[in-house]
Amino acid sequence: MNEAPLNPQVSKGFSWQSYTRQLSLLGTIILLTLIFWILAKVLKGNNFLSFSNVQIMASHTVITALGAIGMTLVIVSGGIDLSIGSVIALSMVVTAWGVERLGVPLEVAVLMGLLAGSACGLVSGLIIVWFRLLPFIATLGMMGIARGLAKVVAERKPINLDYKGWEDSWLKYLTVNPSNVEIEGLPYLPSWILFQPAVWVTLLFALVMAAIFSRHIFGRHVFAVGSNESAARLCGVQVSRVKVLVYTICGLFAGIAGVIFASRQSQGDPTAAVAYELHIIAAVVIGGGSLTGGEGSIFGSIAGAVIITIIRSGLRSVQVTSDVQEILIGVIIVGAAILDRWQHRKKE
C-alpha cells in the first residue's frame, strides 16, 4: 500500500471532466451558429453573423445570463428559484417608478430596483429555511407575489422612462449598441467597444461570481450544501445562512437583470420577463447544473444562456414563430435534463 501517484497537471484545480464539458458546450455553440448561418443564408439570404445581429444576440443574452448567474448558485445549492422572471419585472418596474413617479435621482432608483430584487430573494430564502418549505413551493409563491407587486406599483401599465435627459443617462448608455454611424440626437458609442456596455458588465459579474464560486469559502459551502446537506452541517457549514444568502444573491442578480431590462426597454413593464425562469433554468441545466444540487458552473451557465439565445434568434431569423420557439425551448430543457441523467448513470 503506497502513496497514490499524483498527476501534477490535474492538481491545478482543473479536472478533465469539466474540461470536456466546456469543450462540448463550445462545440455546441459553434455548431448551432454554423447551422443557423447556413439556414439563414440559404432560406432567407440573411447574414446570421452580421455585426448588428451578433450585437443584438449578445444584448439578448444579457438578461438570461445575469439571471443564470444567480440561478446557478441556487441550483448548485440544491434548490430552484421559479420567481426569477417576476422578480426581474418587479425590479424593472421599481426602478422606473422611482425615477418617474417618486422623482428620485436615477442612482437611488437603481438602488431601489436592486433592493427590491434582493428583498424578494431574501424573503424566499428565509421562508425556505424557517418553515422548511421546498424551494419549488416557496419560490412559486414568490413568483406570484413579485408579479402582483410589479403590477400594483406600475398600476398595471408600463411606466415609460422618458424624463428629460434619460437618453443621455449612464443607465441608458448601458444598452446602447456601438455603431459606426453617429445619429444626431441619439446616444452613440463607437464601434471599437464591440458590444453594448451591459454585455461587458455581465461578463465582469460572471468573472467575479465564478471566482467566488470556485475559490471562495462561500462558494465551496454552496457546493457542499447542494451535494449533501447533512454532511455539510456536520462539517460546520452554516447551512441556513448559506441558503438564505444564495437566494438573496439570486434576487440581487434578478434585480441587476431588471435594471438593465429597464434600460433596454426605456420603461418599467410589469408584464415583462414572463416565463424567463424557464430560459434561465434551461441555461443553467444546459451548462451542466444538476437539479439535484452539487454540480454546475457560472461559465457553463453563461454558455447555456448563449446557446438559448442562438437557438431563439436563429429560429427567428428563419422565421419560425415564437410559439414554435417556446416548444423547442421546452424540448431542449427536457433533453438537457435527460442528458444530465445519462451522464450520472454512466458514472455509476
Which residues bind to other proteins, rule: CB under 8 A?
A: 1-7, 10-15, 215-218, 220, 223-224, 227-228, 230-238, 294-295, 347
Phi and psi at residue 160, in whole multiples of 5°?
Answer: -80, 135
Taking the least distance from each CB to other proteins, the nearer of 11 and 180 is 11
Q: How far is the CB of 169 from other proteins (least distance, A)?
A: 35
Taking the least distance from each CB to other proteins, the nearer of 150 and 206 is 206
Taking the least distance from each CB to other proteins, the nearer of 205 and 223 is 223
Q: How far is the CB of 156 from other proteins (least distance, A)?
A: 45
Q: Are 317 and 60 in contact (CB under 8 A)?
A: no
Q: How far is the CB of 214 from other proteins (least distance, A)?
A: 9
Q: Are 247 and 124 in contact (CB under 8 A)?
A: yes
Helix (H) or strand (E) holding 112: helix 106-130
For the record, the C-alpha cell of 150 comes out as 410589479
Phi and psi at residue 206, in whole multiples of 5°?
Answer: -60, -45
Helix (H) or strand (E) holding 267: strand 267-268
C-alpha to C-alpha distance for 215 and 220, rounded to whole angstroms: 7
Taking the least distance from each CB to other proteins, the nearer of 2 and 180 is 2
**43-46 own/partner pairs: CB under 8 Å, 24+ apart:** 43/318, 44/317, 44/318, 44/319, 46/317
Taking the least distance from each CB to other proteins, the nearer of 73 and 109 is 73
Taking the least distance from each CB to other proteins, the nearer of 34 and 217 is 217
Phi and psi at residue 179, in whole multiples of 5°?
Answer: -150, 165
Q: How far is the CB of 235 from other proteins (least distance, A)?
A: 4
Q: How far is the CB of 15 from other proteins (least distance, A)?
A: 5
Closest CA to 258 of 82, 141, 109: 109
Q: How far is the CB of 10 from other proteins (least distance, A)?
A: 5
Q: Are 301 and 289 in contact (CB under 8 A)?
A: yes
